[in-house]
Amino acid sequence: MRYLMLASLLMGFSLIQAQDAEQATISAIYKSALTNYDAYDNLRALCTEAPGRLVGSKASETAIGLLRAQVEKLNPDTCFLQTYTTSSWNCLSPAQATFQYGSGIGSLNVVNLGLSASTPSEGIQGTVIEVPSLGALDSLGARAVKGKIVFFNKPMDNSKVRTFSAYGDAVDVRFSGASKASGYGAVGALVRSLSTESDDFPHTGVSKFEKGVKPIPNLSVSTNDADRLSALLKEHPSLQLRMNSTTEIIGSVQTSNIVAEIKGCVHPERIILIGAHIDAWFNTPGAHDDGAGCEQMIEVFRLFKALNIKPLNTIRLVLYMDEEMFQSGSKVYAAFAGNEKKEHIACLESDAGGLLPTGFGIDCDKEALVQSIQKQTAKLFDYGIYVTDKSHAGVDIEPLKDFGFPLIGLSTNSQRYFEYHHSANDTFEQVSRREMQLGSAAIASLVYLIDRNGL
């Protein structure tokens, strides 16, 4: 009995000691992240030297070189490019839109949407038909739409506290609007920007044309100018809109993911994946989306190295190409992982901006794994990680769910996110070093906890 009590006591002590050691390491991770400027300086370099790094662009090649050098400086055990060939699209010069009614003329703040077709050099011109939704367009049908420019004026529901939910509700017109309009014979499409604010920044994003549908010029207009145009159309329904767009389809281009590892000292064959995406739209430095994510994940490596944390399992960094348009990098890595057949204990992604971290979203169908992750994230409550629930975790890691791997995405304060997203306003200056670094520390701490405690 006495021995048993002693044994229990010792076990209790060692549990407390382990918890203390764990908390000490987490504290050291946060202290280092908050006082170090490397990730922030790296982000400045990325935004300055490689803005508009859309897959296949020259800037994307610059970004790959620059990020690879940032990773290699940390002496990982491996670092290599996962090179592949893909097709792409790009915008060659800033789009323009001007309007005219009677003696009134003016221009709108616009930007090309992804996969938009070029106009002839003199532009296209037409009357405008405004619709609030895809359904409204369907109700009008080809007779009303043929030969016209369709103006999709569907605002985000800004009364929602969760901005990503408002984005999810409104994104359908940007994604499918032009394709549907073209199907009904429209000559062009103009889409209200997905922004939470009334301002002058046009926000781009991907749109897709259904197979067999002719691509048409497809622009995004700032929220202020969408309101202005809508008001003008009520007074001047025959207003003429002229649009200019110069874009190109790139048939074949070589590009790469960057992959690097700190090998596990006990289970090198088991992977904890940390990922983010390299590419950013042609019109933006892509600071929050997703430069910050890349630099946070590189910072995880720096933190492990600087604090001499030897992972039991391999930590694999994957910086993906082409999240924004075709997710080709994501598919290439998933195929690689399928061939390689290494267990991924967890796959983490940071693609919600370098903003104040508030928790993690878990995408996993196994309830026991979800609870096991929540048990670890609960240890970060004092650092502001207060909500970890089931949700979408990240576009790049999504195909890895098919292997049964649990997916985890960093959740952030999303209140400012759609002021920046896919616009020229997504600049380095909009990133707070401490907020970004709290994100780095939260990810590094969770990787450390999963590595030590398993799931």
Q: Rule CB under 8 A: which residues touch a second copy?
A: 30-32, 34-35, 37, 158-161, 163, 196-198, 356, 358, 382-384, 386-387, 413, 415-416, 419, 432-435, 438
State the nearest-atom distance from the C-beta of 30 to a second copy, in Å: 6
State the nearest-atom distance from the C-beta of 389 to a second copy, in Å: 12
Q: Round to the nearest angstrom and report the end-to-end CA distance of the chain.
A: 34
Residue 102 in tokens: 């009677």
Instruction: For residue 426, give the 3-state DSSP assignment.
Output: coil
Q: What is the largest CA-CA distance in the chain?
A: 99
State the nearest-atom distance from the C-beta of 384 to a second copy, in Å: 7
Instruction: For residue 213, give the 3-state DSSP assignment.
Output: coil
Residue 401 in tokens: 């769910």
State the nearest-atom distance from the C-beta of 309 to a second copy, in Å: 17
Cβ closest to a second copy, residue 356 vs residue 364: 356
Count each helix (H run) and each strand (E run) in the chain, helices first.
11, 14
Cβ closest to a second copy, residue 340 vs residue 429: 429
Cβ closest to a second copy, residue 34 vs residue 249: 34
Cβ closest to a second copy, residue 83 vs residue 415: 415
CA atoms within 13 A on the CB side of 392: 8
- What does the alpha-carbon distance between residue 439 and residue 28 come to, in Å, rounded to a whole number? 15
Residues facing 320 on adjacent strands: 277
State the nearest-atom distance from the C-beta of 198 to a second copy, in Å: 7
State the nearest-atom distance from the C-beta of 386 to a second copy, in Å: 5
391, 362 contact by CB (below 8 A): yes
Could you give phi then psi for residue 176, rounded to 5 degrees? -115, -10
Cβ closest to a second copy, residue 187 vs residue 380: 380
- What does the alpha-carbon distance between residue 339 and residue 356 come to, in Å, rounded to a whole number? 37
Cβ closest to a second copy, residue 166 vs residue 259: 166
406, 455 contact by CB (below 8 A): yes
State the nearest-atom distance from the C-beta of 412 to a second copy, in Å: 10
CA distances for 185 relative to 1, 75, 98, 143, 154, angstroms: 86, 56, 21, 9, 21
Cβ closest to a second copy, residue 183 vs residue 361: 361
